[in-house]
Every structure is written in structure tokens, then in C-alpha cells.
Chains A and B, each alone.
Chain A
Amino acid sequence: MQADKDGMRELFEKLVLADKLDKLMYRRMMQGRLLGFYHPGDGGIAPGVAIGHSLHKQDIYAPHHRAHAIPGMIGKNVPLERYLAEHSGKQDGCCRGRSSFHWSFPEFGIYMASGYIGYQFAPTVGWGWAARRKGEGQIVWCSAGDGAYNQGRAHEAMLMAMNWKLPVVFCCENNGMAIHATAESTHPMEHVSSLAGGYGMPAVIVDGQDVFAVAETARNAIRHVRDGNGPIFVEAKTLRFKEHDIGTPDLAGHTPRGKEELDALRERDPIRLATEAVLAAGVLDEAGIDAVHERAEKELARLERFADDSPVARPGEAELLEAVYAS
């Protein structure tokens, strides 16, 4: 049981850090200290944290794009100072300041970002194919939103992964919103995971607000896949408290989401739920929770110091041209 308690404490720490970093990103964007755009994760960060936490370092992971993959990366123990530096246009960024928002930590099995929603489905087939061929027990976790599962590529990937029995978990972090479009207006069935049945793929649904429940479901799904049973589908029902990206109106369809509606959603804030859970389980007391928050604040300060101290990336055009091709 001590192991369970340690696991809960670790997940809780990561969840708190992810939440604080997401909110820091929001502030930095409003302050003009973050480049490009930012898609806040507030309300929907629990699945990424739980999934990343459940994977091995060697596993390939395409995190959901919301909160710019921060929850998934924190879950997978990726130190994020180089990501914050990247998003701030600094030379120590993970992509050398060339991308604004792309996350790329190949040594953690996290290869890439893209502005194409659903970009991860096509490479997922290749990652899964490579994992199976190498036979080293590596698996692939492909997370995407309800909007991305509108993409034809999702269906090609599920078809091929099932045909080839690849070690892939397909996951939908379903927050019910794709920009402004509600999931019910773009999906013919209530559950996105119902799609899996068309490919003979088993599917499970989990409460995406409960970081501990997602972690348990993720562990089971990963075991299923790692044991050579082929793909499985996990749908985490989650929420989005904020607008799609900073600066766009917060609509459902064409109607603004009202305060009452959002207040009701916040009843299921993953931080609130996790805090109640760790208290109830006796994992932490109030003082312990305060300490978790203090450690997270210190970590944020460390990330910011690194990003702010790193010089603005200023390569010349010739240097950039040299960087187009690998040698």
C-alpha cells in the first residue's frame, strides 16, 4: 500500500506542477513573453499527466496538443526548461528557437509537434511498426482530441494498427470541444471510443478528471498492448475551462459559454478532485499539500529563470540555410 501512496503522491505532484505551468504559460502569453499562440489546458490536464506517468521512457508518446503537451511531458519526466525557452524564442530551446511552440524530446520518445490536427496518426503507424519489428517491448501511445478523431488519418491508423496488431494505444482525450465545435455536432455517436468497435479494437472509457483513475486505466491499457494483444482504445472524458486559444472567443457552436456553465464545469477541476483524493486516502495532509504547491512554485521559478536567462536565438540566414539538411 505504501507503493500506492507513493504513486499517488508522485502523480499529485506532477498534476499540480502541470496546472501551475499551464497557468504560467497563459500569463506569459498575456504579458507578451511567450511567442506564437497558446492553447490553454486548464480543466483537461489530468489525462496527459497520468498517461505520461504510466509510460516507460523508451515508449513513444504523442501527447495531446492542449496545454501544448505540457501535462504529458511532465508525466513522462521531461524537464521543461528547454520547452519554455523554445516558446520564448530562446537559443537554448528544445528546437533551438526555430519553432515557437514545437515540443521535441526524442530521448523521451516524444518526437514532434505539428499544426496539423491529427498529424500524429500517420507516424503512429510507423512508430508501432518499428516497435514491433525491434521487439524490445516498446509501445506507442497516440493521444488526440475529439476533433482529431474527425480526421481520416485516425481511421487509417486504427485500421492499419489493428491489421498488423501493432503495440499502440489510441487515446481520445475528449473535452467535448474542437475550437468551437461541440463533439456532439461532429461525432455521430456519444462516445468517440465507439469508433474502435469498427476495427474490432477493444475500448475503455475513463473519467478524465480523475488523474488516479486515468493512471490505472492507462497502466492496464499499456499492459494489454505490451503483452502483444494489439491496439486498444482509451477514451478519457475531460473538460476545457478556457477558450480554444488565447484571443479567440469562448463559444460552444456559435453561442458564448456562460459563467454559470463554466462554474459548473469547475466543480470537476482535476486539482480539486485530486486534492480531495489524497487527503481522503491519507497520502498527504494539508501541510503536505502546501509543500507540494511550494515545490511546484520553485520549479516554475527555475524554468522561468532558465528561459529568461537564455539569449534570444539570433542565427543568421546562412546558418539557418545550413540547418535545412542533415549531413
Chain B
Amino acid sequence: MQAEPGKTGVRELTFIDAIKEAYVEEMERDENVFLVGQDIRGGIFPSTMGLFDRFGPERVVDTPISESGMYGTAFGAAQEGFRPIVDFMFGGFAYVTWAECSVTTGQYYFLHGGQVPLPLVMTFAVGTGQQLANDHAMGLHGAFFHQPGIKVAMPSTPHDAKGMMKAAIRDNNPVVMPWHMGLMMDRGPVPGTDYTVPFGMADVRREGRDVTVLANSLQLKHALAVADRLAGEISVEVIDPRSFEPFDMDTLLRSLETTSRLVVVDEDWERGGFAATVSARVMEQGFDLLDAPVGRVTFPNMPVPGGHMEAYIAPGPDKIESAVRSVCA
């Protein structure tokens, strides 16, 4: 698709084209916005396809396989007033320049007296389903979530993909915005107008009475399928956090006032992840609302295997259903 800014009305777009439409609209709007990454001229993923021809080499910056230098291009340019979007291709590759993109990035603004903001976006593909194993499959949102000073959000629908990417580009802080490969070609309604989806606003995707399932991205899709499957038996409320940092605790607590039971689904390891943080916060802030211990559906604490074995351990509909039944028992 060739995105057309100014085009109004709601169209059906794929998830990945919705991201591209956000890039195009923001790059048209603000000449300080630029893309930097490896092989983004041709496009390993369709999100940047055609943009080199449209915007040229100064706006779609293709780098050698030098992750620190590539990320440094974004970091230094952001200090100089640009608004870079750095595309790591696969999320696991961010670890190659982890010192820069996590510690130095998240703590730069605060530690240097709040003098110079760092308005940059980090984006990359994540997720199981492609049988590619660890570095090509890991979620990175949990690792970034652990780092202070960085906002972390992950869209679940084409609508949110465009609106959250635009919000990320306009934010004056570093924002990490992974997207799940399992959603890449999903289609959904996307307004052709200029809109943003602000961070820190969870979305109740389905209302229910008996149990709340907090799930995001591909796992949100699975959670909604489970809610359908259990309809008539267990009434499942499904909430999409949309952003992990900032996290909308109010919407979750409000939901628990009705349901009193919670399952957190997170495509990340059990140990030290977002799901663990949410369940601890619910214990601290909403203990009296609960009628059962919080359930979690996550990766077991083991390497992420590739091939067929990926499916044996990844979160998915069956594990979610089993967790829902368990907290409702």
C-alpha cells in the first residue's frame, strides 16, 4: 500500500501497513523525523518498504551491521533535536547495543539534570510463531520495562499500531514499541485521519463479570478467543494494557472490583517480568478486591526454543483457558 496522508475515512489496513502509515504521516509532518536501521531501504519487513524512494537517504538511513553505531546515530541525532525512529529489525538485536539503548538512554535525561530530552523511538519485530528461536523470537518489552526512563508500549490492533506509533514519535522521551510478527498481516479498521493513542490508557476489549484477563498483542487475540470459547460458562473480561510503562493501574483495579479474579498473560519469562510486577502491584493496591490468587501465563524460565518445540512452551489459548479455569475454580 502507498499511504496517503490527508485521506479521511476508515479503511481496512494490515497491522504492518498501519505502522507504515504512521511513519509516512509523521515524516511528512515533521522533517526532523527520520528512520534508521539495517536494510530498511529494501525492507526486511513491509513497514519501511518504499520509504527510501519516497523520502531519500537522509530520511531513511541504512546502516552497516554496526548496532552501536546504528543506535548511536539515533541517540546523538536526538540530542541535536532530531526525532529518530530506530528499527532494530528483530528485537533480540537490541541486546547487541544494550548499554546504549537501555541504561544510557533511559537514564540520560534525569542524570544530566533534565537539560536535553531524548525524543526517539525504538521499534522491532518480536514474538513466537515463526519457530526462529531465542534472538529472533524473544519479547524485549520486559527487559526494557525494567529500565527506568523508557516508555514501553506494544500495539494489539492496526488501529492502535498507527495511533501508538504516532504518539511514540511525538513523545519527548525514549519509547520502545515492539510489534508482534504474529499480527503483522492482520487486517483491521484504521482511520485515514491524524490521531494518536496516548500511553497509559488500557483498553477494555471485552466486558465480563467473573474474571479479568490482562493480555497484550498476539496474546490478546488468544485471550479474546478463549473468552469466546468460555462464553456461557465463565464471563471473561479482557483488558489490553497497551502500554506497560506507563501502566494504567486504575482500569485494572476497576475491573477487579467487578470480577475479583485476575489472570495476566505475558509473552515473556515468568521470572521478573511484567506479569510478576502487575501481580505484585495488585497485591499491594488491590488485595481486598481479590477472591483468588493472581494467575499468570508466561514463558517458563528456559531458553526460547525454535522449531516445533517453540509451541510446546509458548503461551497460547490452551494455557490461558487452563489458567482462567484455575483461578475461577
Q: Do A and B form a real pair?
A: yes
Q: Mark B108-150, 1 if CB is under 8 A from A, else 0.
A: 1111111111110000000000000000000000000000110
Q: For the complex, is B290 an interface residue (Cβ under 8 Å from A)?
A: no
Does A126 lie within 8 Å of B113, measured CB to CB?
A: no
* A70-115 interface with B by 8 A CB criterion: 93-96, 98-99, 102, 104, 106, 111-112, 114
Does A98 lie within 8 Å of B113, measured CB to CB?
A: yes
Nearest to A96 among chain B residues (CB) is B113
Does B80 lie within 8 Å of A114, measured CB to CB?
A: no
Least distance between B132 CB and chain A CB atoms (Å): 25
A134 CA / B58 CA spacing, docked (Å): 11
Question: Contacts A326-B117, A326-B172: A126 and B110 contacting too (C-beta < 8 A)?
Answer: no
* A118-165 interface with B by 8 A CB criterion: 119, 121-131, 133-134, 152-153, 156-157, 159-160, 163
Does B112 lie within 8 Å of A326, measured CB to CB?
A: no
Q: For the complex, is A185 an interface residue (Cβ under 8 Å from B)?
A: no
Q: For the complex, is B97 an interface residue (Cβ under 8 Å from A)?
A: yes
Q: What count of chain B residues pass the 8 Å CB interface test?
A: 44
A94 CA / B111 CA spacing, docked (Å): 10
Does A125 lie within 8 Å of B172, measured CB to CB?
A: no
Contact residue among A60, A126, A156 (Cβ-Cβ distance under 8 Å from B66): A156
* B37-79 interface with A by 8 A CB criterion: 58, 61, 63-64, 66-79
Interface centre among A125, A130, A134 (most CB of B within 10 A): A125
Does A104 lie within 8 Å of B112, measured CB to CB?
A: yes
Does A126 lie within 8 Å of B115, measured CB to CB?
A: no
Does A153 lie within 8 Å of B68, measured CB to CB?
A: yes
Interface centre among B72, B74, B97 (most CB of A within 10 A): B72
Does B72 lie within 8 Å of A157, measured CB to CB?
A: yes
Nearest to A155 among chain B residues (CB) is B66
Q: For the complex, is B82 an interface residue (Cβ under 8 Å from A)?
A: yes
Question: Contacts A127-B76, A129-B77, A160-B73: A95 and B104 contacting too (C-beta < 8 A)?
Answer: no
Does B76 lie within 8 Å of A124, measured CB to CB?
A: yes
Does A125 lie within 8 Å of B72, measured CB to CB?
A: yes
Does A126 lie within 8 Å of B79, measured CB to CB?
A: yes
Q: For the complex, is B99 an interface residue (Cβ under 8 Å from A)?
A: yes
Does B116 lie within 8 Å of A111, measured CB to CB?
A: yes
Interface centre among A123, A127, A152, A323 (most CB of B within 10 A): A123
Nearest to B117 among chain A residues (CB) is A326
Q: For the complex, is B173 an interface residue (Cβ under 8 Å from A)?
A: yes
Does A95 lie within 8 Å of B112, measured CB to CB?
A: yes
In the complex, besides A112-B108, A131-B80, A324-B149, 12 extra interface pairs with C-beta distance below 8 angstroms are A99-B113, A102-B112, A122-B76, A123-B76, A123-B79, A129-B76, A130-B76, A159-B64, A159-B66, A160-B64, A326-B114, A326-B173
Chain B residues with a Cβ under 8 A of chain A: 58, 61, 63-64, 66-82, 84, 97, 99-100, 103-104, 108-119, 148-149, 151, 172-173
